[in-house]
Amino acid sequence: MDFDLTEDQRLLKESVDRLIADQYSFAQRKAYAAEAPGWSAKMWAQYAEMGLLGLPFEETLGGFGGGPVETMIVMETFGRGLVLEPFFATVILGGGLLRRAGSAALRGSLIPQITAGKLKLAFAHVERQSRYNLADVTTTAKRQGTGYVLDGAKSVVLHGDCADKIFVTARIAGERRDADGVGLFLVDANSPGLTRRGYPTQDGLRAAEIGLSGVRAEAVSEHAMPAIEHTIDEAIAALCAEAVGTMQVMHDTTLEYLKTRKQFGRAIGSFQVLQHRSVDMLVALEQARSMAMFAAVMASEENPIERRKSISAAKVQIGRSGKHVGQEAIQLHGGIGMTQEYSVGHSFKRMTMIEQMYGSADDHLAALAKLGGLFGKAA
C-alpha cells in the first residue's frame, strides 16, 4: 500500500503546519482562550480563508472535496497546536451529519455558510444516562402538524454554547435503546424553548448543557442511526489523528527537556534509564500513528461492521499509547510538568479527554471482542 501523500495533500499539510507553527504557540493559545468565546475569531476567519472549513464538502458547493486522509492531516496538526476553535464540532460532527443525512437543499443552503466561516454547528446527542450507547436516547420528538416538538436535555455538547444551529437527536418511536426510533433534527440555537449553559472543559475547550422544552423542529432524518454511527466513526478517526499530534508534542518537548535539564553536572538525558523511557515513548507514538492512519483509511468503509471493528481497534491503541506517552512526559519533567504555566500538562489533559470521548480504550476493546476481533467474526 502506498502511504505517500499526493501533491495536493502535501501542500495542505505544509500550509496547515505553517499556520499553526506561526499562529499557535503556547502563549498565543493562552491569549485565544482568554477571548470572550474561549477561542480566536481571527483564527476561525483564517481557517475559512484557507478552505479548511470546507474540508470534507463537495467542491460544487465551495468545499475542499477532501476525505478522511485530508482530515487526518489537518487534525494531527491541530493536535500539536491544541487548537481551541470549534472545527471538530462544526466541520467533523456537524458537517458529517449534514453530508450523510441532509437533503440536497439543506446541504446547498448550509455548506456555503460553513465554508465562509459564517455558520457554526454543534451535535447535541449525549444524555446523562447514555454513557457510550449511541442508541440510548430519551429526548422525545412528537409529531405536531408538519413538524415535531422536542422535549428533553443533552449534556456535554461540544461548542454548543457558540453554535448557530444544533443537530439534535430525539426519539420518534420505540423504547429507550431502540436504534430504529432515533431521529435527527436541526434547530436554531435561538429557538424558543431551547436553553444553553456553557462552560469550559478540562482541556480548555468549551461545551454546553442544553435543555429542550417544546422546541419546534423539522426532521433532517427520521431514521438517523446509520448516519450518526458513520459520522461518529469518522469523528473517532479524526480524534485519533489529533491524538497523534498531541503525543508528538509531548514526546518532542520531553526529549528537549532531557537534553537541557542537568543533574549532577550532566544532562539527565545522558542517563541510560531515561533514554530507555524516551525510546518507549517513541515506540508508543509510532504505534498510535500507524493505527491513526489505519482509522483514516477505514473511516469511509461502507460496511458498518468492518468499519466499526477498525475504528475500535484504533481507539484502543490510541488510548493506551496516549496514556503511556502522557504519563511519561509528566514524570520525566518532574514537578514542572504539572503546572499550568507549562505546555505538557495541557497536552496530557487534551489526550485524556480524547481517550474518553466516544468510548475509552477498555470500552472499545470490549466492543471489538464482541465483534470477534479485528480479523475475526462475531460469535
Q: Residue range 361-373: average pLDDT?
A: 94
Q: Is 52 exposed, middle or buried (0-12, 13-18, 19+ CB in 10 A)?
A: buried
Cell of 155: 449534556
Distance CA(101)–CA(39), nearest Å, equals: 29
Please tell me the predicted confidence (pLDDT) of residue 82.
98
User: Domains of the chain: which residue ranges?
Assistant: 7-119, 122-223, 227-370
C-alpha angle 149-155-157 in degrees, rounded to nearest 5 = 90
Rounded to an integer, what distance in angstroms lies between the CA atom of residue 233 and that of residue 292?
Answer: 12
- Split at pLDDT 50, 70, 90, the class of 286 is very high
pLDDT digits (tens, 9 = 90+) for 57-115: 999 999 999 999 999 999 999 999 999 999 999 999 999 999 999 999 999 999 999 99
Taking only the tens place, the pLDDT of each residue in 125-156 is 999 999 899 999 999 999 998 899 999 999 99
In CATH, the architecture of 7-119 is: Orthogonal Bundle (1.10)
Q: What is the pLDDT of residues 23-32, one digit of tens each?
A: 999 999 999 9
Report pLDDT for 97. Answer: 98
CATH homologous superfamily of 227-370 equals Butyryl-CoA Dehydrogenase, subunit A, domain 3 (1.20.140.10)
Residue 298 DSSP label = H
Fold topology of 122-223: Butyryl-CoA Dehydrogenase, subunit A; domain 2 (2.40.110)
Model confidence, pTM:
0.96
In this prediction, residues 211-219 reach a mean pLDDT of: 96
